[in-house]
Amino acid sequence: MLCALILLRHGIRQDFEDKNWRQTAERPHDTPLSENGFRQAHDAGRFLQNERIDYIFASPFLRALQTADVVASYLNLPIYVEHGFMERLDPKWFDAMPELLSPEEAKARFPRIDTSYEPFVRPTYPEPRDTTKTFDRIAKALSEIHQHFDGTALVVSHGVVAVEGARALIGSVEGILGHLCAANKFVFEDGFWRLEWATRDYLSIMEESIRFH
């Protein structure tokens, strides 16, 4: 059973800095990191070396895999791709299930991915905001890794996972940071989760506003 859990949002997206990126993108709904996003990922990796992390889980979206891969290079850990931690499948953002890297493409690009891992959750499109679908699958994914893994896990994903994950763990978003490449650490004590810290002070590049899409 996990004793600690860190939720890390991915770094700055390419389309946040290049508004024309989607016009020529092969997968316009699977945005990569920008150069500044990679810098943030390296900042996070250096910071997280101070934590005793045993596992890295990542959303299958490219920006999350890129962030996780950078962090994993500092921690020397494999990456488990968990679809329960993917972006909200909001019909206002996606007109269909977004096209992502296939498992084979992802493994070729990110050799640290452990393909023996089978995701606990497979979300279905759509996930309208006026439903609990996104919350329910994030909560289930967190519950499953809590029950099946020991030690400390890092989840590299999206702003929605930081927010809905906090609600699932502690029933509140008070004190939670949803900024790009911010980290929130929770510890499990006496049968309950609590927020131990939330920070982005390690980042050399910060955005003051919180952007989710």
* pLDDT value, residue 105: 98
Q: What is the structure's pLDDT at 6? A: 99
Q: 38 is written with which tokens?
A: 């990679």
Residue 11, classified by CB atoms within 10 Å of its CB into exposed (0-12), middle (13-18) or buried (19+), is buried
State residue 144's pLDDT score: 98
- Under DSSP, the state recorded for 83 is G
Q: Is the bond into 78 cis (omega within 30 degrees of 0)?
A: no
The predicted structure's pLDDT at residue 211: 82
pLDDT tens for the 213 residues of the chain, in order: 999 999 999 999 998 988 888 888 889 999 999 999 999 999 999 999 999 999 999 999 999 999 999 999 999 999 999 999 999 999 999 999 999 999 999 999 999 999 999 999 999 999 999 999 999 999 999 999 999 999 999 999 999 999 999 999 999 999 999 999 999 999 999 999 999 999 999 999 998 788 877
Q: Are 117 and 80 in contact (CB under 8 A)?
A: yes
Residue-range domains of the chain with CATH? 2-20+27-199 (3.40.50.1240)
In this prediction the pTM is 0.97
Report the DSSP pairing between strands 2-9 and 55-58.
unpaired
Q: Supply 148's token pair.
A: 């099946």
* Euclidean distance between CA atoms 193 and 45, whole angstroms: 24
